[in-house]
């Protein structure tokens, strides 16, 4: 049986086609323009890679904040459960999930069976996550992918007091006008964001294994900041792109429905 999972997030749409042998094909498309067309493009790309038509896929599932823009019949799966189911399938020892997405960060506590015990979600303005990093990269005239490679010792980081997109960008410009080196500003941004996430984990009582998902999980500097503050390792899933976990979870949740 083939199952399609589509996660329509704030910055990108992710599509996974899942079969008996695992992930058959996938796609990540940035949300530029009409969201319905973006979803269609992502799904079309994934099924094209799989060498099939949409009609060949028996079960279709959707999740994410833009799930309502999926233009075909599908089951609707909650993103929290999707993340828990997918992470547990790949890494059964996970007990805390940190999903750092485009607009929000979510910390989820799960049981040894992968059931959601409790979760917390960041304030959309205060912890912009991926969107904040995107604006920061634009202000510094860097690629957002490059931000995670800059790791600087504590005493040399520029101080960042906020992750709010508006005030944060203003703070970056002030540092630039003061002649602060771009790499020190980037290090400060990453540490500030990591500190915010670490605080969320502590408030939830997060325990190991801690698994990071979402686009910001690709930023090594943010992950290192979280580890430095918590004194615990943060794991990423080597067998799957960090951004695809929600889409895979949607497919797995739909599979569970079929089995039940």
DSSP collapsed to 3 states, the chain:
CCEEEEEECCCEEEEEEEECCEEEEEEEEECCCCHHHHHHHHHHHHHHHHCCCHHHCCEEEEECCCHHHCCCCCEECCHHHHHHHHHHHHCCCCCEEEEECCCCEEEEEECCCCCEEEEEECCCCCECCHHHHHHHHHHCCCCHHHHHHCCCCHHHCCCCCCECHHHHHHHHHHHHHCCCCHHHHHHHHHHHHHHHHHHHHHHHCCCCCEEEECHHHHCHHHHHHHHHHHCCCEEECCCCCHHHHHHHHHHHHHHHHHHC
Domains 1-91+239-260 and 93-236 share a fold: yes
Domain segments of the chain as ranges: 1-91+239-260, 93-236
Q: What is the pTM of this model?
A: 0.91
Residues 45-97: pLDDT tens digits?
999 999 999 999 999 999 999 999 999 999 999 999 999 999 999 999 999 99
The yes-or-no verdict on residue 124 having pLDDT over 70 is no
**Domain covering 93-236 in this structure, CATH number:** 3.30.420.40
Superfamily of domain 1-91+239-260: ATPase, nucleotide binding domain (3.30.420.40)
């Amino acid at each position: 049986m083939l199952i399609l999972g589509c996660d329509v997030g704030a910055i990108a749409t992710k599509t996974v086609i899942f079969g008996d042998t695992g992930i058959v094909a996938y796609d990540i498309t940035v949300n530029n323009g009409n969201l319905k067309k973006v979803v269609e493009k992502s799904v079309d790309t994934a099924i094209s890679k799989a060498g099939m038509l949409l009609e060949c896929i028996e079960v279709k599932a959707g999740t994410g904040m833009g799930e309502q823009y999926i233009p075909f019949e599908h089951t609707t799966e909650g993103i929290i459960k999707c993340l828990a189911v997918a992470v547990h399938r790949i890494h059964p020892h996970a007990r805390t999930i940190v999903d750092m997405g485009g607009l929000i960060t979510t910390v989820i506590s799960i049981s040894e069976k992968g059931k959601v015990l409790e979760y917390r979600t960041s304030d959309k303005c205060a912890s912009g996550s991926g969107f904040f990093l995107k604006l920061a990269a634009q202000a510094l005239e860097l690629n957002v992918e490059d931000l995670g490679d800059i790791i600087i010792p504590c005493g040399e980081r520029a101080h960042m007091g906020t992750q709010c997109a508006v005030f944060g960008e203003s703070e970056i410009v002030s540092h630039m006008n003061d002649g602060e080196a771009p790499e020190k500003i980037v290090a400060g941004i990453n540490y500030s964001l990591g500190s915010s996430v670490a605080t969320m984990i502590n408030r939830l009582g997060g325990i190991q294994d801690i698994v990071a998902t979402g686009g910001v999980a690709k930023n090594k500097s943010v992950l290192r900041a979280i580890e430095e503050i918590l004194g615990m390792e943060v794991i990423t899933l080597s067998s799957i792109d960090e951004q695809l976990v929600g889409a895979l979870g949607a497919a797995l949740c739909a599979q569970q429905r079929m089995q039940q």
